[in-house]
């Protein structure tokens, strides 16, 4: 599992428009990299809309937001358009970035075990090192927590 102070694993993924986005593109900025389970679901929608609504505050902190799930580029585009999201959603369909960040985990619902994305947010500093990790994120109030550590 990654720890604060570790270099953030490099990646290049397609965004909701089909453009390549690499972590190195944001060198010199703070990156709020948040992993979420599924587009167009209630909790993920609340989390995305909270980040959308905090855009001006995040910009003041010189931070960019990147959302990552295993959903397709097309589904990301639909999610982004439906909720007027103002940050890139990255498609990790193969799950390699989820695995590199340790968020692809065994989960349990109604007694059934399955693999899925554990809702986790990483704050990555301008030099590419992890500055903060939020595990087992509770959606309500999460954006405020992120703003506090920025």
Q: How far apart are CA 98 and CA 92, in angstroms?
A: 7
Check the CA dihedral 26-98-118-8 and report its sign. Answer: negative
Of 77, 70, 79, 78, which Cα lies nearest the Cα of 118? Answer: 70
Active site residue 49: no
Name the active-site residue from 21, 44, 91, 103: 44
Question: Phi then psi for 133, rounded to 5 degrees?
Answer: -130, 125
Residues annotated as catalytic are: 44
């Amino acid at each position: 599992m990654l720890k604060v102070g570790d270099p953030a694993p490099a990646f290049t993924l397609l965004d909701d428009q089909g453009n390549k986005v690499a972590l190195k593109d944001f060198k010199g900025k703070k990156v709020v990299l948040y992993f979420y389970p599924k587009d167009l679901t209630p909790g993920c929608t609340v989390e995305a809309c909270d980040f959308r609504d905090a855009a001006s505050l995040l910009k003041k902190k010189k931070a960019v937001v990147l959302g990552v799930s295993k959903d397709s580029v097309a589904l990301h585009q639909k999610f982004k358009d439906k909720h007027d999201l103002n940050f890139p959603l990255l498609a990790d369909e193969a799950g390699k970035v989820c695995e590199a960040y340790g968020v692809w985990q065994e989960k349990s619902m109604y007694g059934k075990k399955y693999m899925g994305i554990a809702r986790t947010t990483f704050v990555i500093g301008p030099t590419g090192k992890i500055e903060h990790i939020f595990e087992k994120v509770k959606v309500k109030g999460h954006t405020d927590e992120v703003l506090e550590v920025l």
